[in-house]
Amino acid sequence: MDLVALLVMGLLLVTGIITPAEGLSGFSNTATITVGAMFVLSAGLFKTGAVNFLGAFVNQIFKKSFLTAMLVVMCLVGFLSAFINNTPVIAIFLPILLGVAKDTKISASKILMPVSFASMLGGICTLIGTSTNILVSSIAEKQGLPAFSMFEFAPLGLIMFAVGTAYMLHVGIRLLPERRGEGDLTETFALSEYLTEIILLPHALSVGHKIKDAPLVHDLDIAILEIHRREEKIHQPTGDVVLREGDILLVRCDLEKIRALQERSGVRLKPQAKWGDEGLTSEDHRLLEAVVSPSSGLIGSTLQKSDFRENYGGTVLAMRHHGRLLREKLSDTVLRAGDLLLVEIHRTRLNHFKRLPDFIVASERATVEFRRNKVVFALAIVAGVILAASLNFAPIVVASVVGAILLILLGCITLEEAYQAIEWKIIFLLAGVLSLGAALEQTGAARLISSLVVSSVGVYGNVALVSAFYLLTVILTSAMSNNATGALLAIAIATAATLGVNPQPFLMAVVFAASASFMTPVGYQTNTMIYGPGQYKFIDFVRVGTPLNIILWILATFLIPVFWKF
């Protein structure tokens, strides 16, 4: 989506629809700068371990009452997401909640979606809770309207959070499947029947060949995970290892290929009990679940192109790819955000792997060395940013930038970590969207579209227009980024100008709807992150999210005009 936004910007510049100054102004817009600074502020809190202490607390309350624990966790996640980026919030809670689910024998699919929804609902309660809120405030100010205050969105946001939480606890959880059980990772990925051991006989065709050239690998497309050679055991053998007679190979392949192996000259199957995690782990190797993060550089690539084993030190045994469990042709599968990989990795690469921004390790909490001696500074700085913006001591862009600088100067986060914390895809997406908004305004396209909206819906009154903007935004944000719907803001402002009324109700309809992406796993990053670990299917989001969207749509239609007058 960030690429599309840049293509739109480039096309508008090349065709002369907007000037270079107008086209590139999105990079210096206060919304873009503020969002970038907020990424750094969020990272500063997590690098000092300010949030990680919550893990032990969550474990305790789940042992007492499931519904009470869910209420507490949803409120906790909602509160955190109101002030910091909700993507790292979910990244912190994901392994905690998966561990809780396993310990309490509760299906993780019953837990993860409500928590993801809570992060979205919490984000709409404050100005800094989501980048869309910051974006609309910046555009409103540019149009001569007063900038929105820190808690401008809170009255309706809190009502929506309360209603959404009640719905998920009493209705949504009942609609969710019990899809992820308490079994180990091998069982979770149904991998045991895909693993078997074979013995290479003296006359086997692959004897004397390197693994990468062995007929066994090429003809049957199998993956060799381990070699037992007399007293030696070779985990994750590289392609240059030469196969010898008598080698016992642990291979991953489907049942059809196992049958083909039985008929193959020089290969004998070795009887083996059902494989589990203990059969694939050792003192030197571990099994991990890793989610491809929304900002991962692997998105759009494949395991083969990225040379996964060499660069990441692990072997992917299976993956959940957009609701489907894959155990074959993994190397050629194009990776997407939210894909869940089952990775066997050497212990020497384990901690490095956990720290990579490309993945969120879901099966266990990352062992990160936090700067706990800086946690007071981090909390004070973030609190100061919130207070300064709330009490109008400084504009939000000034407060957030100064806060980010202070975090670096006081050693809460390094300069390199600050650069890594910024999700540059979001920055470029915002810049592209702002240029599109400028083009809609400059060319009169916004007024043209708004006149069509007024003529078709406006006859039913202003409330109907608010309802229409909300519904249109929900539909669009279900298929693309919530920030991309910011282009609708120009149309909303033009509609208000056509009617001669206050544009705030229309802006609020777009803002609240942009964070209501409950119906798909791709409209919002937190949904994408829990898609694989929860073993959800696309239809699960439709079934649970659609009623919630309808409820919030009705609420917004009648309450937005109450809190923001025409």
- Lowest pLDDT segment from 263-267, 428-432, 459-463, 469-473: 263-267
State the average pLDDT over residues 358-367. 70
Domain check: are 284 and 387 in the same one?
no
Domain check: are 292 and 397 in the same one?
no
Sign of the CA dihedral with 271 first, then 276, 278, and 282 last: positive
In this predicted structure, the answer to whether residue 113 has a pLDDT above a threshold of 60 is: yes
In this predicted structure, the answer to whether residue 366 has a pLDDT above a threshold of 60 is: no
| Structure token digits, residue 440 | 């809609």
Spatial contact of 338 and 531, defined as CB atoms under 8 Å apart: yes
**What is residue 380's predicted lDDT score, i.e. its pLDDT?**
93
| Structure token digits, residue 292 | 């491809």
Domain check: are 435 and 474 in the same one?
yes
Domain check: are 554 and 439 in the same one?
yes
State the average pLDDT over residues 117-138. 89
**What is residue 137's predicted lDDT score, i.e. its pLDDT?**
85
Q: Which residues contact 18 (CB under 8 A, 6 or more apart)?
A: 12, 435, 438, 439, 442
In a domain, 37, yes or no: yes
Q: How large a percentage of the chain has pLDDT more than 70?
A: 88
**What is residue 562's predicted lDDT score, i.e. its pLDDT?**
93
The CA-based diameter of the chain, rounded to the nearest angstrom, is: 88
**Where are the alpha helices (H) located in 48-105, listed in sequence order?**
54-62, 66-81, 86-104
In this predicted structure, the answer to whether residue 58 has a pLDDT above a threshold of 90 is: no
Structural domains counted in the chain: 3
Domain boundary among 233, 252, 274: 274
**What is residue 102's predicted lDDT score, i.e. its pLDDT?**
79
Domain check: are 419 and 434 in the same one?
yes
Q: Which residues constitute the domain of residue 320?
A: 280-361
Domain check: are 79 and 103 in the same one?
yes
| Strand ranges inside 327-446, DSSP E | 340-346, 359-361
**What is residue 52's predicted lDDT score, i.e. its pLDDT?**
66
Helix (H, G, I), strand (E, B) or coil at 226: strand
| Residue scoring higher pLDDT (266 or 136) | 136
In this predicted structure, the answer to whether residue 303 has a pLDDT above a threshold of 80 is: yes
Domain boundary among 254, 274, 294: 274
In a domain, 384, yes or no: yes
**What is residue 79's predicted lDDT score, i.e. its pLDDT?**
93
Q: pLDDT (tens digit, 9 = 90+) per residue, 17-53? A: 888 888 888 888 888 899 899 989 988 888 887 766 6
Domain boundary among 337, 361, 385: 361
Task: Return d(Cα 339, Cα 484) in angstroms, integer.
Answer: 23
Q: pLDDT (tens digit, 9 = 90+) per residue, 380-418? A: 999 999 999 888 888 889 999 999 999 999 999 999 889
In this predicted structure, the answer to whether residue 278 has a pLDDT above a threshold of 60 is: no
Domain check: are 434 and 351 in the same one?
no
Task: Return d(Cα 147, Cα 19) in angstroms, integer.
Answer: 26
In a domain, 367, yes or no: no
Domain check: are 31 and 91 in the same one?
yes
Task: Return d(Cα 323, Cα 555) in angstroms, integer.
Answer: 32
In a domain, 370, yes or no: no
State the average pLDDT over residues 413-430. 87
Q: How far apart are the first and last CA of the chain?
A: 34
Domain check: are 164 and 50 in the same one?
yes
In a domain, 139, yes or no: yes
Spatial contact of 285 and 278, defined as CB atoms under 8 Å apart: no
Spatial contact of 395 and 150, defined as CB atoms under 8 Å apart: no
In a domain, 369, yes or no: no
In a domain, 324, yes or no: yes
Domain check: are 52 and 149 in the same one?
yes
pTM above 0.85, yes or no: no
In this predicted structure, the answer to whether residue 264 has a pLDDT above a threshold of 70 is: no
**What is residue 170's predicted lDDT score, i.e. its pLDDT?**
93
In this predicted structure, the answer to whether residue 281 has a pLDDT above a threshold of 80 is: no
CATH number (domain holding residue 260): 3.30.70.1450
Domain check: are 69 and 104 in the same one?
yes
Q: pLDDT (tens digit, 9 = 90+) per residue, 322-350? A: 778 887 778 888 998 888 888 888 777 77
Distance of CA 492 to the CA centre of its chain: 29
In this predicted structure, the answer to whether residue 267 has a pLDDT above a threshold of 60 is: yes
Average pLDDT for the chain: 83
State the average pLDDT over residues 107-120. 92
Task: Return d(Cα 173, Cα 115) in angstroms, integer.
Answer: 11
Domain check: are 214 and 302 in the same one?
no
